[in-house]
Chain A
């Protein structure tokens, strides 16, 4: 919906529209979008990703690229994996000054744990990119 500059409009009240009932919250770990994998390393990465990355990357908060959205990741999955690891471990300021905090803001994560979370995010991103292509 577009608003004209200085446009004065009548606020239309409709009781049917305005109330949103509380919905049952779904456990993140069961969320269908976040694919499971038979690979043990990816399973571990999934747990780490859900705990440390999903809060932003699951929703595009603060411009975090969402792995379920192929356009966010097509140009990233072709980068060397070491570059992606480095950005996740050390943090990264993007061209538009968006910011990826070092280790997702969790200093307790080891390098290997961060890499495992990155691997899982790439696994997710590649799945959705391939699905779009097919």
Chain B
């Protein structure tokens, strides 16, 4: 296990030496291709990259929420959305879709030398304890975005000898089902969410040199 961690760390350092990151949409993640020197020398700030990644994630989730869930569940009333969507033969909740995307991206990124980033949906009040913040930056950032509506949190942190740029964006409860499910869930540490409350945050982490 230790050897594996060491190997992963070395692999990551090797990736970082190349000093290349893909500023990407969900589409462009899927394919790598040879690029000209001119293109590979282009630069973008890591903050702009994180903001762009979040914009794509948030837009995709919003489209799923509106054009799939709201349309079929709320307007046409032809299917339900459920946390237990497989058992219930229902649509996955928007937050679950987001998390599935996060997990798939992490798996795909492992096989791509030039793609070094991760994103997760976390909360200071998680139903699943695995989604609680672990690093100080995550704890501070999630608290900050909950207390400062409309603002994002940016910082750096060093984890396992690697420097990371970490960006945290508020995740707000926008539908009655988000709020009621969290408030009523037996494992929830918070039972008084209301619509419009920040219920958690999206944590984007990008390794950087420095």
Contacts and interface: CB of A to CB of B under 8 A. Distances in A.
B208 interface: yes
B78 interface: no
A47 interface: no
B43 interface: yes
Q: How large is the interface on B (under 10, 10 to 19, 20 to 34, 35 or more residues)?
A: 35 or more
B142 to A, nearest CB: 12
Contacts of A58: 149-150
Interface in B51-104: 52, 62, 65-67, 70-71, 74-75
B188 interface: no
Interface in B17-32: 19-25, 27-28, 31-32
A59 B149 CA distance: 8
Given A9-B23, A93-B70, A14 B45 contact: yes
Given A9-B23, A18-B154, A55-B197, A99 B46 contact: no
B175 A4 contact: no
Contacts of A101: 175-176, 195
B44 interface: yes
A9 B21 contact: yes
Interface of chain B: mostly helix, strand, loop or mixed: mixed
A103 to B, nearest CB: 9
Interface in B132-181: 140, 144, 147-156, 163, 165, 172, 174-176, 179
A105 B75 CA distance: 17
Contact of A55 (B25, B70, B149): B149
Contacts of A106: 194-195
Interface string A87-115: 00000010011110110111000000000
A1 B172 CA distance: 26
Given A11-B46, A54-B196, A6 B74 contact: no
A105 B210 contact: no
A63 B174 CA distance: 10
Interface string A22-58: 1101000000000000000000000000001111101
Contacts of B3: none
Contacts of B163: 13
Given A14-B45, A105-B195, A3 B25 contact: yes
Q: Which 6 A-B pairs have the closest CB atoms?
A: A55-B196, A105-B195, A62-B174, A97-B66, A13-B208, A11-B21
8 contacts: A6-B31, A6-B35, A11-B49, A14-B45, A17-B47, A58-B149, A61-B172, A61-B196
